[in-house]
Amino acid sequence: MKNQITWAILLGTVLCAQANAQNEIPASDFAKRPEAWEVELSPTGEYAAIAVPTADGMETKLEIVELATGKTQALRFARQQHVIDVIWTADDQVVVSRAQMEPLKARPFTVGELMTSDIKGKNQDVLFGYVPDDGTKRGRRKDEGWSYVAKVLNSEPGMALVDFTCWNCGEEPDTVVFKVDTRTGVRKEIERGDKRSSYGFDQTGEPRLRTSLDDKDDPVLHYRPTKGSAWAPLPKSIAGYLISSARFDADNNTLYALVSDAKEPAQAYKIDLQAGTRVKLAGRSDVAVSGFMYEGRDGIPFAVTYDADKPSLQYINPNSEWAKLHAGLMKSFPGQMLSFRSFSRDGNKVMFTVWSDRDIGSYYVYDRVAKRAQKVIDYKPWLKPEAMAATKPIEFTNRAGQKLFGFYTAKGTGPKPLVVMPHGGPYGVHDTWGFDNDAQFLASRGYAVLQINYRGSSGRGESFEESGWRGWGTKLQEDIADGVRWTIDSKLADPNKICMYGASFGGYSALIQPILYPDLYKCAIGYVGVYDLPLMRKTDINNGASKRTKRFFDRTLGTDMAALAAVSPVQRVNELKVPVMLIHGRDDTTADFNQYKAMESALKGAGKPVETYVAPGEGHGLVKPENVTEMYRRMEVFLDKHIGPNAK
């Protein structure tokens, strides 16, 4: 009888495992690129411009879809070229940025060149960029610099303001603002700063705010108190340290902006520029306001958002018809966040996105007259929200007495094998609540995932970022370890089954954590990581970096080579007692490939077990779906062996 029971249990276990394997979401589904990168509504509300990746992932084309009929016009700007940042400058004219695939996030990012086209795909041209000569024909554009559309002039169809900064004009190149006819390419300079600057424009297109940096890399703020006046220092009564996300009301004097006076988290204000006064609209002492939501194309804000802890929204004008519209739409999508994306000129059509921790998102257009929403596209319809894991915002206090935020992703309840996944950076970046491919893949395999916004993360003000400076191997690692111990104490993690996995700075953390806290971890996966900090100072930073970049690393990383060596995994490899996997792009120049070679060599030299995956043709993060799929496959086998079902 006992043997029969034993065999019954074993058979049930095998059948359950087979059923789970059959129901498992393929790794390739998480690696597959979405149906679209972004969608923008035309000024008439008739069309949507959609940036669509091709099936092979080698190109992103632009599709113009007539919403009423579904009729589609595909625009191709060049073979094997990506486009992003879609902007309508007229009812029938779009401007896009030429793009490359962004490392780690595996989505297009602008390279600073602008192209234009009408919606029929005719009269395409390079607005800003370098066009090489073709035989005896000279290229029309010779722009060697970075450009982006700073403002569309809605009252002048086809006209836009373009911000341009030269690449090869010295350490402090002028930033120039051009007024550009996006139909013809004709441009006229309207503003020139004496150094790198960013501008805020009133509704007529006049630059009224200017932010530059001093020799210590702190912001220097100027403004024009009235239209046509000279630049003057921005008074402390308006902003003491930084002003951003500025939008003018129709009177071109009232300004809505995010302000920090003394490096505290940004607060939302309504500002009277001419009077030099302001009224606070919203803000918290521990988390920055992350952005505004606006009443139509040129309207004022009706709400603010926060994202450094749990995502939240505050209506600063709850009586606004737009706030009521937003609140009503939210009720139709329980458990999801909803963001207005773009608007028709008459305000009748509203394009919005909905998204959550389990759903990467969808685009809709709402007709305010017909009171009807039309779905435009799902990002990844093959990933069903009901099959995904929930992401829970968490909060704990570190050993320094600071409140920290993070996120815990898992299916079900109770202690689970845990993968600790710190974000890269480490400074000026923070994890947010939402769909994360890595976290969802790991959760689908039965693991819990922990993400910590340690000291130095953005979203909580400059002071919080600076509190993590020179803490790569100390303060930041303390925060990660404190988060792991909090997760164990909260019965969310199996203390005997914890592994580190991270990319870039997260890859560094994956290798240094088991050295600093050997009692916590059973394995480590370093992905495009930095493992030798003195080597990074000698290669990545010193070779061709600007003076500002070098100063940034002096401030945030430090210059004491002995201290950096003391917190470098390569230098302390003998203390590493856990199995290691290293993943790197062969062409990585951010975390230089020498970092991978140094770590691999040190591990093998010390007789330490190491598994490796080097992807040819990839840089600082894998972007090709087939390579991401292979990475996931290898990670799954590695984790299964060390903290999963087949762990010894």
Closest CA to 289 of 241, 257, 254, 325: 257
Report pLDDT for 477: 98
Report pLDDT for 171: 73
Taking residues 196-210, report their average pLDDT. 95
The dihedrals phi and psi of 132, each to the nearest 5 degrees, come to: -70, 160
Q: How far apart are CA 135 and CA 643, in angstroms?
A: 61
Task: Supply angle C-alpha 112, 117, 119, rounded to 5.
Answer: 135
Which structure tokens are listed for 524? 């480590």
Model pTM score: 0.92
Taking residues 264-289, report their average pLDDT. 97
Taking residues 329-339, report their average pLDDT. 95
Taking residues 247-263, report their average pLDDT. 97
Report pLDDT for 180: 96
Per the DSSP assignment, residues forming a β-bridge with 611 are 581
**12/89: higher pLDDT:** 89
Whether residue 13 has pLDDT greater than 50:
no
Whether residue 22 has pLDDT greater than 60:
no
Closest CA to 118 of 91, 154, 142: 91
Q: Locate tokens 């009888």: which residue?
A: 1
Report pLDDT for 138: 66
Taking residues 38-43, report their average pLDDT. 96
Whether residue 3 has pLDDT greater than 80:
no
CATH number corresponding to 389-642: 3.40.50.1820
Whether residue 16 has pLDDT greater than 60:
no
The mean predicted confidence, pLDDT, of the chain is: 91
Taking residues 500-512, report their average pLDDT. 97
Reported confidence tier of residue 170, pLDDT bands at 50, 70, 90: confident
Report pLDDT for 1: 44
Whether residue 5 has pLDDT greater than 60:
no
The edge-to-edge listing of strands for the beta sheet with 277-282 is 242-248, 254-260, 267-272, 277-282
Reported confidence tier of residue 100, pLDDT bands at 50, 70, 90: confident
Number of residues in the chain:
648
Whether residue 430 contacts residue 423, with contact meaning beta carbons closer than 8 Å, is answered with: yes
Q: How far apart are CA 185 and CA 123, in angstroms?
A: 11
Taking residues 534-543, report their average pLDDT. 76
Closest CA to 531 of 554, 503, 558, 553: 503
Taking residues 152-160, report their average pLDDT. 94
List, for residues 61-89, the tens digit of each pLDDT value: 899 999 999 999 988 777 667 888 999 99
Report pLDDT for 108: 66
Report pLDDT for 546: 77
Full DSSP string of 406-435: EEEEESSSS-EEEEE---S-STT----SS-
Report pLDDT for 402: 96
Full DSSP string of 7-68: HHHHHHHHHHHHHHHHHSPPHHHHHSPPS-SEEEE-TTSSEEEEEEE-TTSS-EEEEEEETT
Report pLDDT for 133: 63
In order of 96, 100, 105, the CA distances from 109 in angstroms are 11, 6, 10
Whether residue 15 has pLDDT greater than 60:
no
Whether residue 11 has pLDDT greater than 60:
no
Q: How far apart are CA 72 and CA 66, in angstroms?
A: 6
Give the orientation angle of helix 437-444 with respect to helix 625-642, to 10 degrees. 40
Which structure tokens are listed for 162? 């373009």
